[in-house]
């Protein structure tokens, strides 16, 4: 049985500290014949790697803040050709690892209580091959975005915000700004299916 690692993060709520990820991320993979391994990103990086080594692919989840290990992990996954799916903050970590991009605030028009907006998918990209559409509606739940990256930008919102990045020379290296696990629609299934099929 293939194993996928899902990054979990530390966060504070009501003056208490927690560790985890959104339940729908895990639920999105329960229908597949895979074993899920949770990877706390804040551990000593060697411990993070010890968990990564158990996995056939990694899901970089969303969250409110980066950890230094996010960037160490992205670089490691890229160099080792480990299938990687980045979601929201996970996609931003992927994008920022390559090039001179920076975070920018897009909360004034992108964080709208999970409203949907339209994105345009670039032709001849991995994302286009997966979705088979020139554009789709996705959800808005992010307050920051990345202004540029040297990865291939495979989708943008109509306002120019980067919505997906990839390197199609890798077995699977795709990051999306939106939350497919929350949409639970055909396009989300196609992305998860493609990730699972890429596992060696």
> How many domains are contained in the chain?
1
Higher pLDDT, 58 or 143: 58
CATH number for the domain including 82?
Answer: 3.40.50.880
CA distances to 41, 57, 134, 141, 195 from 200, in Å: 23, 9, 29, 32, 11
Domain boundaries, position 86: 2-197
Q: What is the mean pLDDT of the chain?
A: 92
Extract the tokens encoding 176.
């999306």
Q: What is the pLDDT of residue 137?
A: 94
Three-state helix/strand/coil letters over the chain: CEEEEEEEEEEEECCEEEEECCHHHHHCCCCCCEEEEEEECCCCHHHHHHHHCCCCEEEECCCCCCCHHHHHHHHHHHHCCCCEEEECHHHHHHHHCCCCCCEEECHHHHCCCCCEEEEEECCCCHHHHHHCCCEEEEECCCCEEECCCCCEEEEEECCCCEEEEECCCCCCEEEECCCHHHHCCHHHHHHHHHHHHCCC
Extract the tokens encoding 79.
């160099």
Q: What is the pLDDT of residue 6?
A: 98
58 close to 5: Cβ distance less than 8 angstroms: yes
Reported as a single tens digit per residue, the pLDDT across 146-188 is: 989 999 999 999 989 999 999 999 999 999 999 999 988 999 9
Other CB atoms closer than 10 Å to residue 20's CB: what's the count? 14
Whole-model pTM over 0.85: yes
Reported as a single tens digit per residue, the pLDDT across 67-123 is: 999 999 999 999 999 999 999 999 999 999 998 777 655 555 555 555 788 999 999
Q: What is the pLDDT of residue 114?
A: 58
The confidence band for 126, taking pLDDT boundaries of 50, 70 and 90, is: very high
The confidence band for 196, taking pLDDT boundaries of 50, 70 and 90, is: very high
């Amino acid at each position: 049985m293939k194993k996928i690692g899902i990054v979990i993060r530390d966060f504070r709520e009501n003056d208490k500290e927690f560790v985890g990820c959104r339940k729908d991320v895990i639920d999105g993979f329960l229908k597949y014949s895979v074993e899920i391994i949770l990877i706390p990103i804040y551990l000593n990086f060697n411990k993070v790697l010890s968990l990564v080594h158990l996995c056939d692919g990694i899901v970089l989840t969303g969250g409110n803040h980066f950890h230094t290990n996010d960037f160490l992990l992205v670089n490691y996954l890229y160099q080792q050709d480990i299938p990687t799916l980045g979601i929201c903050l996970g996609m931003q970590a992927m994008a920022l690892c390559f090039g001179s991009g920076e975070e920018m605030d897009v909360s004034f028009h992108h964080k709208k209580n999970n409203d949907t907006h339209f994105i345009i998918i670039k032709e001849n990209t991995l994302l286009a091959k997966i979705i088979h559409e020139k554009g789709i509606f996705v959800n808005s739940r992010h307050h920051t975005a990345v202004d540029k990256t040297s990865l291939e930008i495979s989708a943008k919102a109509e306002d120019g915000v980067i919505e997906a990045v990839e390197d199609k020379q890798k077995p699977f290296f795709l990051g999306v700004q939106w939350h497919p696990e929350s949409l639970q629609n055909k396009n989300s299934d196609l992305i998860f299916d493609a990730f699972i099929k890429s596992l060696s």
